[in-house]
Amino acid sequence: MLEKADVLAYKRDYAGAEKLIRQAINLDQQNAKVWKYLGDVYANKRDYKKSIEYLNKSAKLKPDYAGT
């Protein structure tokens, strides 16, 4: 699911990517990676307030996760 979201984000289909990421979040809200992906999508959409919110959520769940 996240691989497809990554492809959609690369194609600048941020709405499609967000939809898949939110589906992944519904399956596992404690997964730092999905919150980071969502933060990245919002950064690409230039909604930095939401981006920071979701990136912080990722960091709280797994402080040592760099997302690389």
pLDDT tens profile 36-52: 999 999 999 999 999 99
User: Would you state the pLDDT for residue 48?
Assistant: 98
In eight-state DSSP terms, residue 64 is: T
Residue 68 lies inside a defined structural domain of this protein: no
Q: Which two tokens stand for residue 7?
A: 């492809």
The predicted pLDDT at position 67 comes to 57
Span 17-42, mean pLDDT? 96
The number of domains in the chain is 1
- The CATH number of the domain holding residue 38 is 1.25.40.10
In a domain, 20, yes or no: yes
Helix (H, G, I), strand (E, B) or coil at 51: helix
Range of the structural domain that residue 27 is part of: 2-61
**Is the model's pLDDT at 9 over the cut of 70?**
yes
Distance between CA atoms of 29 and 22, rounded to whole angstroms? Answer: 9
- Express as a percent the part of the chain with pLDDT over 70: 96
> Could you give the 3-state DSSP secondary structure of residue 11?
coil
Q: How would residue 66 be classed by pLDDT, with cut points 50, 70 and 90?
A: low
User: How far is residue 19's CA from residue 36's CA, in Å, rounded to a whole number?
Assistant: 14
